[in-house]
Amino acid sequence: MNMLNDKGMTLIEALIAIVILSVGILVVGAMQTNSVRANATAIARSQAHAVASSFIEVLQQVPFDSIILLDSDGNGVAGLDDGSPNGGVPSPDPTQADYAVQSSDFQSGGVFAGVFGSVYGISGNTLTDGRGWQYQVFWNVADLVTAAGGTTKVVRMFVYWTSPMGRNSMVLTTMKYQNIAL
């Protein structure tokens, strides 16, 4: 028998092929793990948007002079980012905002009593949904005088939460017009 003409795989070639296949399977597994985490983050972002939208809908319906729509520190447009982590501050500070959601808002007689039902639990200024995800919600208000002499409120809402991909935030800005009968 002539060994030089034998065709087939040697043991070393087979081991190399197995190693390459194993690395490929590990890469696909890591990609799948990242995909699952990114999907969970997308769900958390959608939920945070629903939280913010729910609060904005309530703010659009409360009276124009409601306590939750006051520029409490009187700094107007310059204060729309109060409480957000900027200028080197690593985390949000709702106490610096014009208004931070608090547990009394959800109790009988509170601004949000009965609005959200039993969807969220609240402790201090942290909302917790049924899955245990926690959200901090606060906003700032600036009063603007329009060219026609009316007043408009600019409301910038901040929502902070933690997801499988880390700390996240969302900022929504809306305007509320004072409806004055002519």
Q: Look at residue 119 in the predicted model and tell me its pLDDT.
A: 73
Query: For 2-11, 77-86, 90-99, which range has the lowest pLDDT when averaged over its residues?
Result: 2-11
Give the mean pLDDT of 27-31: 93
Give the mean pLDDT of 158-171: 82
Give pLDDT tens digits for 109-144.
Answer: 777 777 665 677 788 778 887 777 888 899 999 998
Q: Which of 49, 51, 42 lies closest to 163 in space, CA to CA?
A: 42
Does the pLDDT at position 9 exceed 90? no
d(CA 101, CA 118): 16
d(CA 34, CA 36): 5
d(CA 37, CA 56): 28
Name the token pair of 112: 């949000």
d(CA 32, CA 14): 27
* pLDDT band per the 50, 70, 90 thresholds, residue 22: very high
Does the pLDDT at position 181 exceed 60? no
Q: Which residues contact 81 (CB under 8 A, 6 or more apart)?
A: 140, 156
Q: Which amino acid is at 154?
A: V
Q: Which residues contact 82 (CB under 8 A, 6 or more apart)?
A: 73, 75, 96, 97, 98, 140
Q: Look at residue 182 in the predicted model and tell me its pLDDT.
A: 43
Boundaries of every domain in the chain: 9-177
Give pLDDT tens digits for 36-49.
Answer: 888 888 888 888 89
Q: Look at residue 50 in the predicted model and tell me its pLDDT.
A: 87
Q: Look at residue 90 in the predicted model and tell me its pLDDT.
A: 65
